[in-house]
Amino acid sequence: MAISNTRKLLLLPGDGIGPEVVREVKKIIEWLNKNKSLDFKIEEELIGGASIDAHKIPITDEVFYKSLECDAVILGACGGPKWDKLEFSKKPERALLKLRKELKLFANLRPAICFEQLVDSSTLKPEIVSGLDIMIVRELTGGIYFGEPRGIEPIKNNERKGINTHTYTTAEIKRIAKVAFDLAKKRKNKVTSCEKSNVMEAGVLWREEVQDLKDKEFKNVELEHMLADNCAMQLLRNPKQFDVILADNLFGDMLSDEAAMLTGSLGLLPSASLGSKDKNGKLRSLYEPVHGSAPDIAGKNIANPIATILSLSMALRYSLDLDKEADLLDQAVQKVLNDGLRTKDIVSKGKKEVTTSQMGDAIISKLN
Ligand code: IPM
Ligand code: MG
Q: Is the separation of the CB atoms in 21 and 289 below 8 Å?
A: yes
Q: From the centroid of its chain, how far is CA 289? A: 5
Q: What is the spatial distance between Cα 210 and Cα 285, in angstroms, rounded to a whole number?
A: 24
Structure pTM?
0.94
Q: From the centroid of its chain, how far is CA 30? A: 23
Is 275 touching ligand 1 by the criterion CB < 6 Å?
no
Torsion (CA) 336, 337, 343, 344 in degrees, nearest 10: -160
Give nearest CA residue, ligand 1 atom 12. 253
The number of C-alpha atoms within 13 Å of 11 and in the hemisphere containing its C-beta is 22
Confidence of residue 3 (pLDDT cuts 50, 70, 90): low
Protein residues near ligand 2, an ion, with CB under 5 A? 253
Beta-strand relationship, 107-113 and 352-353: unpaired
Does the active-site annotation cover 84? no
Average pLDDT over residues 218-231: 98
Q: Is 77 helix (H, G, I), strand (E, B) or coil?
A: strand
Q: Is the separation of the CB atoms in 114 and 262 below 8 Å?
A: yes
Confidence of residue 197 (pLDDT cuts 50, 70, 90): very high
Does the active-site annotation cover 133? no
Q: Which atom of ligand 1 is found nearest the CA of 96?
A: 7
Catalytic residue among 91, 196, 214, 287: 196
Tens of pLDDT, residue by residue over 26-69, are 999 999 999 998 999 999 999 999 999 999 999 999 999 999 99
Q: What is the spatial distance between Cα 136 and Cα 243, in angstroms, rounded to a whole number?
A: 8
Catalytic residue among 15, 243, 253, 345: 253
When comparing pLDDT for 249 and 266, which is higher? Answer: 249
pLDDT above 70 (res 2): no
Give nearest CA residue, ligand 1 atom 4. 253
Confidence of residue 4 (pLDDT cuts 50, 70, 90): low
When comparing pLDDT for 120 and 333, which is higher? Answer: 333
In terms of Cα–Cα distance, which of 104, 102, 98, 126 is closest to 114?
126
Does the active-site annotation cover 53? no
Beta-strand relationship, 40-44 and 7-14: parallel
Best of 59, 83, 96 for a ligand 1 pocket test (most atoms within 8 Å of beta carbon): 96
Q: Phi and psi dihedrals of 115, rounded to 5?
A: -70, 135
Average pLDDT over residues 277-303: 92
Q: From the centroid of its chain, how far is CA 20? A: 18
Is 93 touching ligand 1 by the criterion CB < 6 Å?
yes
Average pLDDT over residues 321-334: 96
Q: What is the spatial distance between Cα 305 and Cα 22, in angstroms, rounded to a whole number?
A: 8
pLDDT above 70 (res 1): no
Q: What is the spatial distance between Cα 242 and Cα 234, in angstroms, rounded to a whole number?
A: 9
Q: What is the spatial distance between Cα 50 and Cα 14, in angstroms, rounded to a whole number?
A: 6
Does the active-site annotation cover 196? yes
Confidence of residue 261 (pLDDT cuts 50, 70, 90): confident
Tens of pLDDT, residue by residue over 60-114, are 999 999 999 999 999 999 999 999 999 988 999 999 999 999 999 999 999 999 9
Domains, the chain, in order of start with CATH, read 1-110+265-368 (3.40.718.10), 133-262 (3.40.718.10)
In terms of Cα–Cα distance, which of 81, 73, 71 is closest to 47?
73
